[in-house]
Amino acid sequence: MAKSVYSLVLRDEVVAEIDRLAYRMNTNRSNMINQILAEYVSMTTPEKRMQEVFSRITDMLTQSGIFQPMLQPSDSMLSVRSALAYKYNPTVRYSVELQRSEEGAAGCLKVSLRSQNSSLMLYWRQFFSCWNAIEKHYKKELHCELEAGRYLRYFTLPQEIGSDEQGEMIAGYIQLLDDCMKLFFDHLEQPQAALREIEVRYRQYQPMI
């Protein structure tokens, strides 16, 4: 969907209200006007589709009581958090970032953990190294990265499925990942047994992203 620069003559009071609304929606004036006009003419923009996906993800994750929504840093990103049952209950952050695209949803899930506890970070890296190996065994073309305290998982979703289905696929993957991570940390004394169970769960679920 191409964009061009247009000159419009608007009342200052109208622009002021648009700016306030854009601030509340964590976006800019141009995007806010674009969204308002698109809704008026019944057109679904990539931005609107992303918000529909995020809304579905939020609904699915928060209804369990396990995840808490976080302040949305931009209109193309959604973040939720979950507590890990380890010393001092560290917080795991899941951030979904989507790209504006007409071909479907494409983006990245960033899973991050901040801690000065070296043992915790060692277990964290051990889990994601194994999780990465499991994923690549079943998804040969998978693109993911493991960094210090952060795991990046890239994904694409086909255009033919709706926003709700896209949101459900992403939320389902986050739920699976969070559940498997907590299983691993609940059985640190038997990591191999936990990893076998994690692979069973992954194989049974077969994530669509």
Distance, in Å, from the CA atom of 127 to the CA atom of 125, rounded to the nearest integer, reads 5
Task: Give backbone dihedrals phi and psi of 14, rounded to 5 degrees, phi first.
Answer: -65, -45
Rg (CA), the chain: 20
What confidence score (pLDDT) does residue 31 get?
Answer: 80
| 24-53 pLDDT, tens digit each | 877 888 888 877 887 777 666 777 888 889
Query: Residue 95 — pLDDT band, cuts 50, 70, 90?
Result: very high
208 compared with 107, residue with greater pLDDT: 107
What confidence score (pLDDT) does residue 140 get?
Answer: 81
Instruction: Tell me the pLDDT of the chain averaged across its residues.
Output: 88
The sign of the dihedral angle between the CA atoms of 51, 74, 90, 109 is: positive
What confidence score (pLDDT) does residue 207 get?
Answer: 83
Query: Residue 192 — pLDDT band, cuts 50, 70, 90?
Result: very high
Distance, in Å, from the CA atom of 185 to the CA atom of 183, rounded to the nearest integer, reads 6
Query: Residue 7 — pLDDT band, cuts 50, 70, 90?
Result: confident
88 compared with 184, residue with greater pLDDT: 184
**What's the pTM?**
0.81
Residue 52: exposure state from Cβ atoms within 10 A (0-12, 13-18, ≥19): middle
Distance, in Å, from the CA atom of 143 to the CA atom of 78, rounded to the nearest integer, reads 20
